[in-house]
Amino acid sequence: EAGVAQSPRYKIIEKRQSVAFWCNPISGHATLYWYQQILGQGPKLLIQFQNNGVVDDSQLPKDRFSAERLKGVDSTLKIQPAKLEDSAVYLCAGPHCGSGYNEQFFGPGTRLTVL
């Protein structure tokens, strides 16, 4: 079954607070992606997992962002402490196996507002 579950859908916090987002690529595929999409821009890859391991986190602000994927299934992205510029939609994606194109299938996203 294709599909990516994410929660929460919306989150409002004040700057310097912490927040966590959850993702489950329902297909259980080995690869999982987290993207940040700032309003008016295209998605930007933050981190890519292959099973439990990180294969690319070159654009992840590691001083405040962290991500983990225990057991190679669901994943958590955390921001601590949040800044105003972290306001964005955070998208989780996994490959769509079986389509022949191996395109990425996106979850509904979490819209974060930092006040």
Partner 1 sequence: AQKITQTQPGMFVQEKEAVTLDCTYDTSDQSYGLFWYKQPSSGEMIFLIYQGSYDEQNATEGRYSLNFQKARKSANLVISASQLGDSAMYFCAMRAPFSGGYNKLIFGAGTRLAVHP
Q: How far is the CB of 56 from partner 1 (least distance, A)?
A: 6
From the number of C-beta atoms within 10 Å of its C-beta (0-12, 13-18, 19+), residue 104 rates as: middle
Binding mask 9-48 for partner 1 (x = CB under 8 A): ------------------------x------xxxxxx--x
The 3 state secondary structure assigned to 58-95 is: CCCCCCCEEEECHHHCCEEEEECCCCHHHCEEEEEEEE
Q: If binding is defined by CB under 8 A, does position 113 make contact with partner 1?
A: no
Q: Under the rule (CB under 8 A), what is the footprint of partner 1? A: 33, 40-45, 48, 50, 55-56, 89, 91, 93, 96, 101-106, 108-109, 111
